[in-house]
Each structure stands twice: as structure tokens, then as C-alpha cells.
Amino acid sequence: MQEIKLKPGQFVFGRKVASEESGLSEQVIRTCLKKLKNMKKLTIKPTNKFTVISIVNWARYQDEENQINQHINQQLTNKQPTTNHIQERKEGIRKERIKDYTLSGRSQNTIPYQEIIAYLNEKTGRDYKDGTPKTRTLINVLWKQGFQLQDFQKVIDNKVKDWITDQKYSKYLRPETLFGTKFEGYLNEQRHHLTGMVSEKTMRTIENLKELELE
């Protein structure tokens, strides 16, 4: 067995094991790791047998943990709190810090609703609103699954090419269709030109089936 020497803040990582333990797909885990790497939150060093992940600024996170402990200790009185109470206090402080971090606008994980809808409007010449609750819910669900801005843009590009000049299907260039349950299929679909390869009757059947799926 190969000996692995790890520094503080490093750990051996495997997508398959992480997928089994978290219940997330390997694709989602891969996307999340890529995003964290791009955000410079961690570095990834693959080898032939395993991957070593290093958390950037690990020491700083430990300092913050120590600060929380000091904060709790300073507030201890003659009436010693229980272990559970101390843990609850720590979690409360952490949540407050996360809340402050988010409200300050420094969070790098903000969902780009405006950019996504602006791109859709630019490509379709329409005027959808990025603040619509239903639209935000659709985008939010996909974003939590690991899809990124470029994925939304690619889906928009793919379907604009397919539908923008088609009077029957151009109406489906809308958030509820593009960002619905078929999103991943639209993202990964292969571009085929069926004209001339099948009969006109078959083409009409395909078009009718497509319309039924979209309604």
C-alpha cells in the first residue's frame, strides 16, 4: 500500500466514494470541485490512483475556529453551560458570520438570474423578467444541481438555433420550457439534420411528438 504524506488542509478524495456518501452524482461533484478551484478555494492534484485536494487558506479557517472558541470562553459565567449549549452558541456565531458575509455582497456563489435572463432576451428579442418567482425557482433548482452560467447560455443557444425561425416552436423559447426538466437533455443533445434523411410523413410525426412534449 502506498504511503501518502499529507499536509494540514490536505485530504485524499475520490468522486465515486463522495457520490455514494453524499447522494450526489459524480458529474455534480466534478462541477462543484471545478467551481471551487476556479474560485481559488482549493487546489486539485490528481495522480494515477487518487486525487489530493488542498484547502486554500486552511490556517485562516483554523484561526476563525479559535476565535469562536475564545468568544465562547469569554462569555462563560460561574454557571457552566452544558456541552450542547456551547455547541449551539458556536453554530449561532457561524450562522451570523455567514449571514453577514452574504448580505455584504461578498459571496461568490450568487445565482446570476439577471445575466441568464438578459442573455435569453438578447438572443430571442423578448423581455422576460429575471425577478419572476417561477423563473427564479427553475434557475435555482438547476443551479443547486451544479449547472453554471455557461450551461444556461449553451441551452439558450442550442434551442434558439432550433426554434427561432420556426413559427410553431419559437413560442417555446421561454424560461419554463428551456429551464425545465429537459434542461440537461437540451444541454447535451447532438445536432442532427434530419431533412432529406427521413420521409415527410416521418418528419411530421416527429414534429407532432415534440409539440406534445413541450406543452
- The pLDDT tens digits of the residues spanning 133-153 come to 999 999 999 999 999 999 999
* pLDDT value of residue 158: 94
- The pLDDT tens digits of the residues spanning 57-74 come to 877 766 655 555 655 666
Buried b (16+ CB within 10 A) or exposed e, 139-173: beebbeebbeeebbeebbebbbebbeeeeebbebb
* pLDDT value of residue 112: 93
Q: Quick one: pLDDT band at residue 24, thresholds 50, 70, 90? A: confident
Is residue 214 within 8 A of residue 166, CB to CB? The reply is: no
Is residue 114 within 8 A of residue 128, CB to CB? The reply is: no
pLDDT > 80? residue 169 = yes
Q: Quick one: pLDDT band at residue 107, thresholds 50, 70, 90? A: very low
* pLDDT value of residue 203: 54
Is residue 50 within 8 A of residue 17, CB to CB? The reply is: no
Sign of CA dihedral 167, 172, 178, 180: negative
* pLDDT value of residue 73: 62
- The pLDDT tens digits of the residues spanning 111-139 come to 999 999 999 999 999 999 999 999 999 99
For residues 184 and 151, give the distance between their C-alpha atoms in angstroms, rounded to a whole number.
9
- The pLDDT tens digits of the residues spanning 158-168 come to 999 999 999 89
The full set of domain ranges for the chain reads 10-55, 113-214
- Residues recorded for the chain: 215
pLDDT > 80? residue 105 = no
* pLDDT value of residue 193: 46
* pLDDT value of residue 129: 94
The amino acid at residue 4 is I
- The pLDDT tens digits of the residues spanning 179-202 come to 999 999 999 987 554 444 445 555
For residues 178 and 133, give the distance between their C-alpha atoms in angstroms, rounded to a whole number.
16
- The pLDDT tens digits of the residues spanning 39-52 come to 888 898 887 777 88
